[in-house]
Amino acid sequence: MGKGAAAERFFSDKETFHDIARIASEFPGAQHYVGGNAALIGQKLAANSDLKVLLCGPVGPKLHELLDDNVFVPPESLQEVDEFHLILEYQAGEEWGQLKAPHANRFIFSHDLSNGAMNMLEVFVSSLEEFQPDLVVLSGLHMMEGQSKELQRKRLLEVVTSISDIPTGIPVHLELASMTNRELMSSIVHQVFPAVTSLGLNEQELLFLSQSASGPHSSLSSWNGVPDVGMVSDILFWILKEHGRSKSRASDLTRIHFHTLAYHILATVDGHWANQLAAVAAGARMAGTQACATETINASRVSLRAPREFMTSHSEAGSRIVVNPNKPVVEWHREGISFHFTPVLVCKDPIRTVGLGDAISAEGLFYSEVHPHY
């Protein structure tokens, strides 16, 4: 909260968690929303009336009732009780003890064992043959932090096996979330990244990923204010160069959608994606409208916090870029990788910050055009 950073942690004491969840849920002003990254991304995509979404995950009665009519849940995914995630939201300037939040954000905690064990993954993959998807979205790997090391290792291998069972030619997007276990993060980078086509992540996850797998700028303990664009693009470049698709490496990873409060970057390996300009712009527009809960961007309720000029790299001779308001999406290239940067019109008084990253990733995916290379 002192840094205004989004975070999520596993709550290990089951009884205490259920007590808190029950009291919160029965509170007269309690609000129940669709939760879980996959459900939020599915819900966002289902808002397009011509899209059908298959959601596999532990779906309890309350969640089922809240889902869009275009979201189909296989019978095996339905369970008798809901898993609750508790969201603590705060506004910019809000104080708690000695702490004062520099901007609005949220802290999430859960005791979600069925998602942590990736219980529905096999059900999901077996349902795909009949559903015939154009896109697969996975999330929830961060929830494995509540599992034992042995179970994490075993389950990750099964995750990779399941992903490889997804029919060739269907892009697979992985949405990351807040984590603290470096060993688990490193295993995800080395084992899961090559099996997926696309990644979605924020500045916390990006830096933690670099620290866990010895990437660029990993000596940095945390971002100071708005993350430096050059440093962010160095880490994105490194992920795609070291763990992405190349002539010498059998990896499917060709796309990363990075989002932070002030700006977004879409990094893609050349030849695999199109329409990046529209995709990154749509994600940025979604951030402004969803946080403010408005249909369109309301200029009086948003502010521009992105840097007006920046270096595109710090680990090599990057170029200096000055953002032109008439062409807000900036593009640059580095060794076969294209970067598309856009500032975000940040909502000054957000109604809700939770699920914003999921909405951004969903919107970016909706506008992205994949070029199958098989």
From the list 116, 110, 112, the residue with the least C-alpha distance to 145 is 116
Amino acid at 39: A
Q: Which residue out of 112, 234, 252, 358 is catalytically annotated?
A: 358
The answer to whether 255 and 266 have CB atoms below 8 angstroms apart is: yes
Q: How far apart are CA 44 and CA 11, in angstroms?
A: 27
Alpha helices in the chain (DSSP H): 14-26, 37-46, 61-66, 113-116, 121-131, 149-164, 182-187, 203-212, 229-243, 276-292, 356-367
DSSP state of 210: H
Cα four-point dihedral sign 205, 209, 211, 212:
positive
Beta strands 71-72 and 53-54 are: parallel
Q: Tell me whether residue 358 is one of the annotated catalytic residues.
A: yes
3-state SS, residue 193: helix
Amino acid at 313: S
- Residue 19's alpha-carbon distances to 10, 145, 200, 207, in angstroms, are 15, 22, 33, 34
Neighbours of 93 (CB within 10 A): 10
From the list 80, 76, 79, 197, the residue with the least C-alpha distance to 126 is 76
Neighbour-count burial of 277, counting CB atoms closer than 10 A to its CB (0-12 exposed, 13-18 middle, 19+ buried): middle
As annotated, the active-site residues are: 358
